[in-house]
Amino acid sequence: MTEDLHFAHLAWPFLDDRHRALGPDLDRWAHALAVPGLADNQPSRATVDQSCRSIVRALGDAGFLRLCVDMADGSSHRLDCRAICIARETLARHHALLDFAFAMQGLGSGAISLAGTDEQRAQYLPRVVAGQSIAAFALSEPIAGSDVSAMACTAERLGDHYVLNGEKTWISNGGIADFYVVFARAPGTQRSAGVSAFIVEATTPGLDVAERLDVMSPHPLARIRFQDCRVSSMRLLGVEGGGFKLAMQTLDIFRTSVAAAALGFARAALDAAVQRANTRQMFGNTLGALQLTQSKIAQMACSIDAAALLVYRAAWMKDRGRRITREAAMAKLAATESAQTVIDAAVQIHGGEGVRVGAKVEKLYRDIRALRIYEGATEVQQIIIGSDVLKAAQAACQGTTA
C-alpha cells in the first residue's frame, strides 16, 4: 500500500500541517524500529514485558511521548487530541504493542497531567516523557468494571498518609509499571462520592502483583493488591473526593484515541486483504477480479473512512475546547465495531491462510477484540449516545415551548 493511501485523510480540513507531518514521520520511525521478539506471534510473558520496556524507551528517545503527556511548562505541547489520534492510528497499523506502549504512557500519567501539583508533575512527567518511567492507570476492580462507581478499594486517611486496601484488576502495564495512578474511596462512602486518586510507586510496601493476566493479544496486564499500603498525602492527586471526576476526565481525553487505534488495525487489515486479493489466483483470474471480493473491499474501505471521519471530528472538537461526550462515544463505538467487521472480512478473503497462527490478519483478529470492551464497552457508549440524543431533543423541545 502506498504512503499516499495511508495518509490521504491527513489532508482533511480537521487537521493542521503539524498533523500532516506527524503521520509520515511516525510511520518511518515505526518501519525502522527493531525490537527483539516483537515479530513473535505467541511471545512469552517475559518477551512481551521486555518488548514493552524497549518500545517505551524508544518512543521516549524519539520524542514521541511528548504527544501524550501535558508538561504545561513550555517543554511540550498541550495535549493535542488530533496528534494523539494520528500517533495511535499509525502505531496500531504497525503493531498493537507500539500503540499500547504509547497509549499507556498517556493514560497512566493523564491524571498527573490534569491535576498534579508542580512538584508531582516535576517528579513524574519528565521521566514518563523520556520513557524512563512506565505508567499505569488503576481504576477497574473485580466487582467494578463497567459499573466503576461500585469500586470497593479503600483509602483511609491516618494523619499525613493514607492506607490503601483492596484490589484492582485488568491493569495494563501491571507487573512492569514504575508507578500506578490508583483510585480508591474513603471508608463508608458510596458510588462516585469519596473517591480520591493517588500516585503509588510500584515498590511501595503493601502493594503487590497478585496475578499476571494473559490475554489473546498479549500485553503486560495484572491484578494488583493493596494490603495496608501506606501512601503519603503528598501523593494525593487533586482534591480529596475528586478522584471519580478525575478518572472520567482522564478517560475522556483518551476515549477518542481508542477509536483511532481501531482505525489503525482496520487499515492494516485492508492492506493485507488488498494484497491477498490482488495476488491469489482462482477461477482463471485473481480473487480481486471477482465482484463479490470487490464488494467486500468496498465495504471495508467505506467503513474505514466513516470511522476516520468520526475520529477526527471528535478530536478536532476536543482541540477546540468543545464538550465531546457524544462525539467521542460515537467515534469509539463506530470505529471499534467496524474494525472488527473489517478484520473479519480480511480473514475471510485470506481463506485458510487467514486463520493460520502467525498470519497478519489472525493477529489483528485478536488485537481488535478488547477495544470493544475497555474504556467503556460498546453498550456503555450506546447508552451515552442514546441518552445524550434524547436529552438534547428534550432541551430543544423545552426551548421551543418556553
Candidates 342, 370, 384, 385; binder of ligand FAD (CB under 6 A) is 370
Q: Does 105 bind ligand FAD (CB under 6 A)?
A: no
Neighbour-count burial of 78, counting CB atoms closer than 10 A to its CB (0-12 exposed, 13-18 middle, 19+ buried)? exposed
CB of 314 to ligand FAD, least distance (A): 19
Candidates 3, 73, 211, 379; binder of ligand FAD (CB under 6 A) is 379
For ligand FAD, the closer of residues 257 and 293 by Cβ is 257
Part of the chain binding ligand FAD (CB under 6 A), chosen from 11-19, 69-77, 167-175, 357-365: 167-175
CB of 378 to ligand FAD, least distance (A): 6
Which segments of 252-298 are extended strands (E)?
281-282, 285-286
For ligand FAD, the closer of residues 51 and 293 by Cβ is 51
- Out of 89, 337, 362, 375, the active site residue is 375
Q: Catalytic annotation on 3? A: no
Q: Does 215 bind ligand FAD (CB under 6 A)?
A: yes
Q: Burial letters for 117-145: b for 16+ Cβ neighbours within 10 Å, e otherwise? A: eeebbebbbbbbbbbebbbbbbbbbeebb
Give the x/- contact pattern for ligand FAD in 169-198, rule: CB under 6 A. -xxx--------------------------
Part of the chain binding ligand FAD (CB under 6 A), chosen from 43-51, 151-159, 261-269, 368-376: 368-376
Contacts 24+ apart (CB under 8 A), 333-336: 333/378, 333/381, 333/382, 333/385, 334/259, 334/306, 334/307, 334/310, 335/258, 335/259, 335/260, 335/262, 335/263, 335/266, 335/307, 335/310, 335/311, 336/258, 336/259, 336/262, 336/368, 336/371, 336/372, 336/378
In angstroms, rounded to a whole number, what is the distance separating the alpha carbons of residues 121 and 99? Answer: 24
In angstroms, rounded to a whole number, what is the distance separating the alpha carbons of residues 336 and 279? Answer: 28
Stretch 110-149 residues interacting with ligand FAD (CB under 6 A): 137-140, 145-146
For ligand FAD, the closer of residues 176 and 273 by Cβ is 176
CB of 146 to ligand FAD, least distance (A): 3
Give the x/- contact pattern for ligand FAD in 33-72, rule: CB under 6 A. ----------------------------------------
Candidates 130, 209, 290, 373; binder of ligand FAD (CB under 6 A) is 373
Q: CA torsion, points 235, 239, 241, 242, in degrees to nearest 10?
A: -110
Cell (9 digits) for 254: 483518551
In angstroms, rounded to a whole number, what is the distance separating the alpha carbons of residues 381 and 325? Answer: 9
- Using CB under 6 A, count the residues that bind ligand FAD: 19
In angstroms, rounded to a whole number, what is the distance separating the alpha carbons of residues 273 and 297? Answer: 8
- Please report, as ranges, the residues that interact with ligand FAD according to CB under 6 A: 137-140, 145-146, 170-172, 215, 221, 370, 373-375, 377, 379-380, 383
Catalytic residues: 375
